[in-house]
């Protein structure tokens, strides 16, 4: 892939020049390093999900061994991860961890809710009573996912320097959740949580996501000419926020979270209108992807939609429209039929007839590794200073279980990118049986969030030894 | 092939390294309503740092029953049974314990579902199509769609804004109709009238003076910068994003949320009725009765329910209830082995769904309305490839939508409809477990525990040499399985005349079909062995348990919540009304609308 410029290949001086004298009003100035020199690039976080565990034989059978072979800095990837070979020097593979997850439901459910949160999946309570797989019922996850925690914080080492409540934001979106065919909301299908009992939905329509990111015209700010469209929208939002506050007086206290969330959504829209977007300096995609609004699953369009979403998140990072994102391909209990690698049944079905299906399951795993490689290639093709956007990003590939037989160790978590130099890459670490909450803590710390624990499954675990 | 051994239900006790939670057996041996308290005792957990062993679903606090077995194949996600009696074990006794004090369950603030949104904007501004497709999908309460728990997200608020703007723009050509006066010529007077009249319909209640002022100000400001048309779309778009439009927020006459039940206002009652029976906003007649204050009168209320059931708009609600109740989901997305079932395709799947939608709609709204007819009717509504699947010759002069008599001895009522049978089956074989669970949980409201976490729930592959009964024999033979499965398999195996796509068959593998069945521990009116799904239907048709369960399920559909102990008096009254009518669903719907639970609201929950 040819190198494409990011917004940050433009020097600050050039950016200011292009925006004219009024540029001082532009909120989207690159972060300067301590001596006010040419910009440090922002740190980005990208969480990447693919379904199920690695191939295994049910009930005591062997698992396809994906453990790299070799030493920390001189290792060989197994066949399952062969597509990642070109990026080996930019990977960190902390092999062997066990899931910090549990609670209600079965593994597809509590693994999904615990993957990025390390938090318990709540049991059913009142009307919060959802399908947790195999007849189990669950509530929602009980803690925030690390992407939301990191995005909500602000500081010099974090993706965002400005607090989330600032009227003017560095990027169009604080976080971006994209997905492909993630089905209806229940505990097996949602992995991003703003807080306990607050799952976030991904946008699953590539065209809608594109329009929201790139559909707006590039605006150059001119305070002399108020934008009529913006004024109109802001008048709406002011009225809606006032109405939402009035609704608060008409509901019980147990609903206040819903009121707060609705207000937060309206405020986010309002803030987005308050500044202007400039995508100067980055390559804005001109062709919108096809519109696709699959309510459950459509294997025929799955591949194209995966590609579309990976392209979108790469462009979104390159144009600094967000710095914290997640891409969820399918969901726990996936029914996608990967016919293009020879599967004739849905993924979950294949995963449990695994004695006969080892070859197919491995082929599916390899295909998902190819998707991860494609994602890394896209990020790596964006030049940023002497390095690439991938170098300034931390990408984490996770799944809701370790193995198809529902074992939850060794969790197949793979990291890529150096988080703007914080992570030495090209390493394989044997962290047998360590709780994955430690990795979550390390990710937070790499992203500039000073925590010592994530979630309640293995609270206060501290970071993963030797990772940083 | 040795795979029969894989059916063993022995729980895997994992090595004590916390790799997976160790679980014991399924815990309670009688995990049914009435003894559901014991379901909470889990099997013995492993000595590991793994996840704690999970018990059965607790029956206290109205958490409802547990679902059925998901697993290999099946439709999108696992098909879980729902049911149980929520927190209600003995409504009559629990009602008596209230000692005459009015109690109703908590009503949550709920954002409108996608289908409610589509139907509402159709009626409000003449929108066409399904604009809510652009919104993130809905949550569920039990098997029915309702956004009751998770808060809205930034994305949803944004999606609603985009949809509202688009709908308002599309409504502009109908500006004069929607406004009810000429905004171009009529100036401030028309603008105010428009806001008041439109606002009443959008908010489903009259606007307060300051609310009118707010929208008139929006109109006036935009008019100064634009045109009457742009001011019109500004107002419409804002209404369509308003929380008073998007949320069902019942609170009662005082407008102050109460921790004790208060009567709904007439407008709130109109709205509850219309979303219950029509999945949309009230019509002009309901609004008129609400404004006149007579809707709360029992006779008027009753008459309205009758009118609404007969109205064509009920076709958006009545079939949806049945499809949800029976968990007949995304049939077109079902993964079926087309080598075994070459007739299976999207057209057939649609025909299956249409049959059940049309049949249940007919029985409830135009037919005799009886539950027993649902379970035993010898007719249905077939179309297209369904004739072929059922082996029925299309009658001469057949008009789509007309009744068709079904082969006696093969088809009778909903239990033998292919939509149910295909939804509750694997891709290449039947599923006695799914079918048993949907009867036990959804039709009898008798909750079951889920299987232990480590149990292999994948059935052995079907072969020409084995019958289903043989492949599942271990469920009965192994004592660790039998405790639960004796409640499931003997029901599900009675469906063996119907294959994985619902076609009738007389052989299963090498043998003639053995469709003998029994409902073990289901209660006296369900006792006794039977043969085949048709006889099962006859049993359910005359069963008080099945009748009470259907009443429960309709309660949940109508109120967007699972019944709780606080609803005991209402549930008892509703059940009694249903029983006294001989199981007439139309009477049931009236009874629900007249119940205390439906006509009152408790908006404030008790702090945990």
DSSP string covering B55-92: -----TTS---------SS-SSS------TTTT-S-HH
Higher-confidence residue of B5 and A3: namely A3
What is the helix (H) or strand (E) element at residue A397, kind and residue range?
strand A393-398
Report the distance separating Cα B601 and Cα A394, nearest Å.
50
Q: Which pLDDT score is estimated for B454? A: 79
Distance separating the N- and C-terminal Cα atoms of chain B: 53
For residue B499, give the 3-state DSSP assignment.
coil
- In this prediction, residues A56-78 reach a mean pLDDT of 84
Give A290→chain B minimum CA distance, Å: 14
Give A251→chain B minimum CA distance, Å: 6
Q: Which pLDDT score is estimated for A7? A: 59
What part of A 329-348 touches B (C-beta under 8 Å)? Answer: 333, 335, 337, 345-346, 348
For residue B72, which residues of chain A lie inside 8 Å, CB to CB?
A: 348-349, 352-353
Give B239→chain A minimum CA distance, Å: 9
Give B318→chain A minimum CA distance, Å: 22
Q: Which pLDDT score is estimated for A276? A: 52
Q: Which pLDDT score is estimated for B102? A: 96
Contacts of A160 (CB under 8 A, 6+ apart): A151, A153, A154, A169, A170, A171, A174, A323
Q: Is the pLDDT of residue A218 over 70?
A: no
- Residue A40: band (very low, low, confident or very high) from pLDDT cuts 50, 70, 90: confident
Query: Is B451 within 8 Å of B80 (Cβ atoms)?
Result: no
Interface test with chain B among A60, A99, A104, A106, by most B beta carbons within 10 Å: A106
Nearest chain B residue to A211 by CA: give it. Answer: B162
Higher-confidence residue of B460 and A276: namely B460
Give A35→chain B minimum CA distance, Å: 37
Q: pLDDT over 70 for what percent of chain B?
A: 85
Query: Is B438 within 8 Å of B326 (Cβ atoms)?
Result: yes
Report the distance separating Cα A131 and Cα A183, nearest Å.
13
- In this prediction, residues B282-302 reach a mean pLDDT of 97
Q: Which pLDDT score is estimated for B74? A: 32
Q: Is the pLDDT of residue B21 over 80?
A: no
Interface test with chain A among B2, B56, B77, B438, by most A beta carbons within 10 Å: B77
Q: pLDDT over 70 for what percent of chain A?
A: 86
- In this prediction, residues B413-427 reach a mean pLDDT of 97
Nearest chain A residue to B561 by CA: give it. Answer: A127
Q: How many CB pairs under 8 A join A and B?
A: 295
CB contact under 8 A, B150 and A203: no
| Helix, strand, coil % over all residues of chain B, rounded to 5 | 50, 5, 45
For residue B52, which residues of chain A lie inside 8 Å, CB to CB?
A: 102-103
Contacts of A417 (CB under 8 A, 6+ apart): A90, A376, A379, A390, A391, A392, A393, A394, A395, A423, A425
Give B288→chain A minimum CA distance, Å: 24
Give A122→chain B minimum CA distance, Å: 11
Provide the sign of the torsion angle of the four alpha carbons B106, B109, B115, B117, taken in this order: positive
Q: Is A399 on the interface with B (CB under 8 A)?
A: no
Closest CB from B64, B155, B159 relative to A177? B155
- Residue A18: band (very low, low, confident or very high) from pLDDT cuts 50, 70, 90: very low
Give A184→chain B minimum CA distance, Å: 5
Higher-confidence residue of B605 and A16: namely B605
For residue B61, which residues of chain A lie inside 8 Å, CB to CB?
A: 125-126
- Residue B75: band (very low, low, confident or very high) from pLDDT cuts 50, 70, 90: very low
Closest CB from B162, B251, B335 relative to A250? B251
- Residue B458: band (very low, low, confident or very high) from pLDDT cuts 50, 70, 90: confident
- Region of poorest pLDDT, from A137-151, A210-224, B36-50, B378-392: B36-50
Q: Is A303 on the interface with B (CB under 8 A)?
A: no
Q: Is A251 on the interface with B (CB under 8 A)?
A: yes
- In this prediction, residues B410-418 reach a mean pLDDT of 98
Q: What is the mean pLDDT of chain B?
A: 87
Q: Which pLDDT score is estimated for A225? A: 60
Q: Which pLDDT score is estimated for A227? A: 82
Give B445→chain A minimum CA distance, Å: 14
For residue A187, which residues of chain B lie inside 8 Å, CB to CB?
A: none
- In this prediction, residues A318-347 reach a mean pLDDT of 95
* pLDDT tens readout for residues A406-433: 999 999 999 999 999 999 999 999 999 9
Closest CB from B214, B256, B456 relative to A59? B456
Q: Is the pLDDT of residue A58 over 70?
A: no
Interface test with chain A among B131, B149, B324, by most A beta carbons within 10 Å: B149
Q: Does residue B283 have a cis peptide bond before it, meaning omega lies within 30 degrees of 0?
A: no
**Count of C-beta atoms within a 10 Å radius of residue B463:** 14
Q: Is A296 on the interface with B (CB under 8 A)?
A: yes
- In this prediction, residues B218-224 reach a mean pLDDT of 97
Give A325→chain B minimum CA distance, Å: 13
Q: Is the pLDDT of residue B103 over 90?
A: yes
* pLDDT tens readout for residues B247-279: 999 999 999 999 999 999 999 999 999 999 999
Closest CB from B108, B225, B244 relative to A243? B244
- Residue A165: band (very low, low, confident or very high) from pLDDT cuts 50, 70, 90: confident
For residue A102, which residues of chain B lie inside 8 Å, CB to CB?
A: 21, 50-52
Give B152→chain A minimum CA distance, Å: 6
Strand A91-95, strand A427-430: pairing: parallel
Q: Is A98 on the interface with B (CB under 8 A)?
A: yes
CB contact under 8 A, B20 and A134: no
- Residue B579: band (very low, low, confident or very high) from pLDDT cuts 50, 70, 90: very high
Closest CB from A134, A140, A251 relative to B450? A134
CB contact under 8 A, B61 and A126: yes
CB contact under 8 A, B63 and A137: yes
* pLDDT tens readout for residues A431-451: 999 999 999 999 999 999 999
For residue A301, which residues of chain B lie inside 8 Å, CB to CB?
A: none
What part of A 111-140 touches B (C-beta under 8 Å)? Answer: 123-137, 139-140
Q: Is the pLDDT of residue A11 over 70?
A: no
Residue with tokens 């404004």: B291
For residue B222, which residues of chain A lie inside 8 Å, CB to CB?
A: 232, 235
For residue B84, which residues of chain A lie inside 8 Å, CB to CB?
A: none
For residue A59, which residues of chain B lie inside 8 Å, CB to CB?
A: 6, 12, 454, 456
For residue B564, which residues of chain A lie inside 8 Å, CB to CB?
A: 126
Q: Which of A1-10, A212-221, B201-210 has the highest mean pLDDT?
A: B201-210
Query: Is B100 within 8 Å of B348 (Cβ atoms)?
Result: no
- In this prediction, residues A15-32 reach a mean pLDDT of 38
Listed in sequence order, the DSSP H helices in A105-227 are: 107-114, 146-152, 206-214
Report the distance separating Cα B257 and Cα B603, nearest Å.
5
Q: Which pLDDT score is estimated for A275? A: 61
Report the distance separating Cα A29 and Cα B156, nearest Å.
29
Provide the sign of the torsion angle of the four alpha carbons A251, A252, A255, A256, taken in this order: positive
Exposure b/e, B34-62, CB count within 10 A at least 16 = b: eebeebbebbebbebbbbebbbbbbbeeb
In this structure, what are the phi and psi dihedrals at residue B529, rounded to the nearest 5 degrees?
-70, 155
Q: Is the pLDDT of residue B240 over 80?
A: yes
Interface test with chain B among A122, A126, A152, A271, by most B beta carbons within 10 Å: A126
Q: Which of B242, B301, B292, B244 is nearest to B269 (CA)?
A: B301
- Residue A63: band (very low, low, confident or very high) from pLDDT cuts 50, 70, 90: confident
Report the distance separating Cα B558 and Cα B592, nearest Å.
8
Closest CB from B58, B63, B152 relative to A261? B152
- In this prediction, residues A106-135 reach a mean pLDDT of 95
For residue A236, which residues of chain B lie inside 8 Å, CB to CB?
A: 161, 218, 234, 237-238, 241
- In this prediction, residues B190-199 reach a mean pLDDT of 98
Rg (alpha carbons) of chain A, rounded to whole number: 22
- In this prediction, residues B484-509 reach a mean pLDDT of 97
For residue B561, which residues of chain A lie inside 8 Å, CB to CB?
A: 127
Closest CB from B137, B243, B607 relative to A185? B137
Higher-confidence residue of B84 and B520: namely B520
Interface test with chain B among A111, A127, A234, A330, by most B beta carbons within 10 Å: A127
- Residue B31: band (very low, low, confident or very high) from pLDDT cuts 50, 70, 90: very low
Q: Which two tokens stand for residue B75?
A: 């439709």
């Amino acid at each position: 892939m040819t190198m494409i410029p990011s917004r940050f290949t433009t020097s600050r001086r050039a950016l200011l020049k292009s925006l004219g004298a009024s540029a001082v009003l532009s909120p989207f100035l690159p972060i300067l390093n301590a001596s006010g020199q040419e910009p440090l690039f922002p740190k980005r976080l990208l969480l990447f999900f693919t379904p199920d565990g690695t191939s295994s034989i049910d009930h005591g059978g062997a698992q396809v061994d994906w453990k790299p072979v070799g030493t920390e800095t001189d290792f060989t990837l197994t066949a399952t991860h062969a597509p990642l070979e070109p990026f080996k020097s930019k990977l960190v593979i902390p092999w062997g961890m066990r899931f910090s997850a549990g609670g209600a439901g079965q593994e597809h459910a509590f693994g999904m809710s615990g993957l990025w949160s390390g938090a318990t999946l709540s049991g059913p309570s009142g009307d919060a009573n959802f399908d947790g797989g195999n007849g189990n019922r669950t509530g929602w996850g009980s803690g925030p996912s690390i992407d939301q925690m990191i995005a909500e914080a602000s500081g010099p080492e974090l993706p965002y320097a400005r607090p989330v409540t600032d009227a003017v934001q560095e990027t169009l979106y604080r976080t971006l959740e994209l997905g492909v065919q993630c089905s209806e909301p229940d505990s097996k299908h949602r992995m991003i949580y703003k807080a306990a009992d607050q799952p976030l939905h991904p946008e699953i329509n590539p065209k809608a996501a594109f329009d929201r990111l790139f559909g707006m015209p590039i605006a150059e700010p001119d305070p002399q000419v108020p934008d009529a469209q913006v004024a109109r929208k802001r008048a709406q939002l002011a009225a809606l926020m006032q109405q939402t506050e009035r609704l608060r007086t008409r509901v019980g206290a147990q609903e206040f979270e819903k009121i707060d969330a609705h207000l937060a959504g309206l405020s986010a829209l309002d803030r987005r209108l308050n500044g202007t977007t400039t995508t100067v300096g980055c390559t804005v995609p001109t062709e919108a992807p096809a519109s696709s609004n699959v309510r459950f699953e459509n294997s025929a369009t799955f591949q194209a939609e995966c590609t579309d979403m990976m392209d979108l998140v790469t462009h979104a990072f390159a144009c600094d429209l967000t710095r914290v994102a997640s891409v969820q391909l399918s969901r726990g209990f996936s029914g996608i039929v990967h016919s293009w690698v020879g599967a004739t049944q849905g993924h979950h079905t294949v995963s449990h007839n695994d004695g006969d299906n080892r070859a197919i399951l491995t082929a599916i795993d390899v295909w998902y590794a190819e998707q991860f490689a494609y994602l890394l290639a896209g990020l790596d093709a964006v030049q940023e200073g002497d390095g690439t956007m991938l170098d300034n990003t931390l990408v984490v590939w996770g799944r809701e279980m370790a193995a198809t037989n529902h074992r939850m160790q060794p969790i197949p978590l793979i990291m890529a990118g150096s988080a703007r130099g914080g992570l030495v890459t090209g390493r394989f670490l044997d962290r047998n049986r360590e709780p994955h909450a430690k990795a979550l803590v390390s990710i937070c710390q790499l992203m500039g969030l000073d925590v010592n624990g994530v979630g309640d499954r293995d609270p206060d675990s501290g970071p993963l030894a030797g990772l940083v | 092939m040795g795979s029969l051994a894989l059916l063993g239900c022995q729980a895997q006790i994992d090595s004590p390294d916390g790799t997976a939670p160790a679980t014991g057996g399924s815990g309670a041996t009688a995990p049914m309503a009435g003894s559901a308290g014991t379901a909470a005792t889990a099997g013995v957990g492993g000595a590991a740092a793994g996840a704690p062993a999970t018990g059965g679903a607790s029956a206290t606090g109205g958490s409802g029953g547990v679902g059925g077995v998901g697993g290999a194949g099946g439709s999108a996600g696992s098909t879980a049974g729902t049911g149980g009696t929520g927190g209600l074990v003995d409504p009559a006794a629990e009602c008596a314990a209230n000692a005459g004090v009015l109690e109703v369950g908590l009503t949550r603030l709920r954002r409108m579902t996608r289908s409610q949104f589509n139907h509402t904007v159709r009626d409000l501004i003449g929108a066409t199509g399904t604009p809510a497709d652009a919104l993130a999908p809905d949550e569920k309460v039990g098997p029915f769609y309702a956004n009751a728990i998770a808060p809205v997200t930034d994305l949803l608020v944004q999606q609603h804004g985009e949809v509202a703007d688009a709908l308002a723009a599309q409504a502009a050509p109908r500006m004069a109709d929607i406004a009810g006066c000429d905004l171009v010529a009529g100036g401030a007077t028309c603008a105010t009238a428009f806001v008041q009249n439109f606002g009443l319909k959008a908010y489903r209640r009259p606007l307060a003076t300051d609310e009118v002022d707010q929208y008139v100000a929006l109109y006036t400001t935009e008019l100064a910068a634009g045109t009457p048309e742009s001011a019109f779309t500004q107002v419409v778009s804002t209404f369509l994003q308003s929380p008073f439009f998007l949320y069902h927020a019942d609170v009662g006459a005082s407008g102050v949320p109460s921790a004790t039940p208060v009567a709904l206002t007439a407008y709130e009652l109109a709205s509850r009725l219309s979303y219950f029976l029509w999945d949309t906003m009230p019509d002009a007649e309901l609004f008129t009765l609400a404004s006149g204050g007579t809707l709360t009168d029992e006779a008027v209320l009753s008459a309205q329910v009758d009118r609404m059931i007969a109205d064509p708009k009920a076709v958006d609600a009545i079939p949806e209830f049945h499809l949800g109740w029976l968990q007949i989901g995304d049939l077109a997305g079902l993964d079926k082995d087309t080598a075994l079932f070459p007739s299976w395709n999207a057209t057939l799947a649609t025909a299956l769904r249409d049959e059940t939608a049309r049949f249940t709609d007919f029985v409830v709204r135009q037919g005799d309305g009886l539950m027993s007819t649902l379970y035993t009717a010898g007719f249905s509504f077939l179309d297209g490839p369904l004739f072929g699947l059922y082996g029925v010759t299309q009658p001469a002069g057949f008009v789509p939508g007309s009744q068709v008599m079904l082969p006696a001895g093969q088809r009778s009522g909903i239990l033998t409809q292919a939509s149910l049978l295909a939804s509750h089956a694997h891709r290449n074989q039947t599923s006695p477990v799914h079918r048993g669970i949907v009867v036990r949980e959804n039709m009898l409201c008798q909750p079951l525990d889920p299987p232990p976490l480590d149990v292999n729930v994948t059935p052995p592959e079907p072969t020409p040499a084995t019958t289903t009964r043989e492949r599942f024999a271990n469920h009965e033979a192994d004592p660790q399985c039998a405790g639960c499965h004796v409640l499931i398999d003997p029901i599900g195996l009675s469906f063996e005349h119907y294959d994985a796509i619902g076609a009738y068959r007389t052989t299963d593998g090498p043998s003639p079909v053995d469709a003998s069945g029994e409902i073990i521990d289901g209660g006296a009116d369900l006792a006794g062995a039977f043969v085949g799904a048709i006889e099962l239907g006859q049993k359910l048709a005359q069963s008080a348990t099945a009748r009470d369960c259907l009443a429960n399920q309709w309660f949940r559909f109508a109120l967007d919540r699972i019944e709780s102990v606080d609803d005991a008096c209402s549930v008892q009254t509703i059940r009694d009304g249903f029983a006294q009518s001989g199981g007439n669903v139309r009477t049931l719907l009236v009874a629900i609308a007249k119940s205390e639970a439906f006509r009152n609201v408790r908006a404030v929950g008790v702090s945990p």
